[in-house]
């Protein structure tokens, strides 16, 4: 094998390994968010909710798809620019994402959870703006996530007001 073939193979392996790393980071954020929070679906069902609230079963599939998109978005941006300001913003919004579930379901602090979600929404917005300078596909992958967090914010606010 030629030297260039070895470099390409090693770089390709690093690239796919990095994708696994981004997937692992998102998985850890989701798992940390769920630590110590048992019976979220039951708690959600017991809350006073607006008529437009989705059923509890919908959240798992939606978040699974969104988390996969967030992981790929981070990976795409990393490939283009390395770990710089855009990936710090990606990390910040992911940490904020992990904090919301314990605040809302674990502590029942709906107002604090809403304030935290507002910070997360701003962090996602900053992440979108920074990714827009690096990669259109990465930016596009974050937009449904930002939209869902916008919807979740409206739902969180309404539940806070009703409960």
Residues spanned by the domain of 128: 3-162
Tens digit of pLDDT for each residue in 98-151? 999 999 988 899 999 999 999 999 999 999 999 999 999 999 999 999 999 999
CA distances from 100 to 94, 115, 132, 135 (A): 10, 10, 26, 28
* pLDDT confidence of residue 3: 37
pTM score of the predicted model:
0.86
Instruction: Report the C-alpha gap between 20 and 25 in whole angstroms.
Output: 9
Tens digit of pLDDT for each residue in 23-57? 999 999 888 877 756 777 788 889 999 999 999 88
Stretch 61-77: mean pLDDT: 96
Tens digit of pLDDT for each residue in 5-29? 433 444 566 788 888 999 999 999 8
Closest among 44, 61, 74 to 142, alpha carbons compared: 74
Kindly state the tokens that stand for 3.
Answer: 């030297």
The answer for residues whose C-beta is within 8 angstroms of residue 132's C-beta and 6 or more apart is 139
Q: Can you give the CATH number for the domain in which 18 is found?
A: 1.20.1260.100
Please say if the pLDDT value at position 76 is more than 50.
Answer: yes
Quickly tell me which residue has 């979740």 as its tokens: 152
Instruction: Report the C-alpha gap between 122 and 115 in whole angstroms.
Output: 11
Closest among 102, 75, 79, 74 to 90, alpha carbons compared: 74
Considering only 6-10, 72-76, 92-96, 155-159, which range has the smallest mean pLDDT? 6-10
Stretch 84-110: mean pLDDT: 94
What's the total number of domains in the chain? 1
Helices (H), the chain: 3-34, 40-46, 59-81, 85-101, 110-132, 136-162
Please say if the pLDDT value at position 73 is more than 70.
Answer: yes
Give 4's pLDDT tier (boundaries 50, 70, 90).
Answer: very low
SS3 state of residue 93: helix
* pLDDT confidence of residue 64: 93
Stretch 65-91: mean pLDDT: 96
């Amino acid at each position: 094998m030629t030297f260039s073939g070895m470099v390409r193979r090693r770089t390709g392996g690093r690239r796919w390994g990095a994708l696994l790393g981004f997937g692992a980071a998102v998985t850890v954020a989701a798992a940390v968010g769920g630590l110590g929070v048992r019976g979220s679906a039951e708690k959600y069902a017991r809350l006073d909710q607006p008529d437009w609230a989705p059923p509890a079963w919908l959240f798992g599939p939606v978040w699974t798809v969104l988390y996969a998109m967030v992981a790929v978005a981070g990976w795409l941006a990393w490939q283009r620019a390395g770990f710089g300001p855009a990936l710090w913003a990606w990390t910040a919004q992911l940490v904020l994402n992990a904090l919301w579930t314990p605040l809302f379901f674990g502590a029942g602090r709906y107002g604090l959870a809403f304030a935290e979600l507002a910070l997360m929404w701003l962090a996602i917005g900053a992440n979108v703006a920074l990714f827009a300078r690096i990669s259109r596909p990465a930016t596009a992958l974050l937009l449904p996530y930002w939209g869902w967090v916008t919807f979740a914010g409206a739902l969180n606010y309404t539940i806070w007001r009703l409960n």
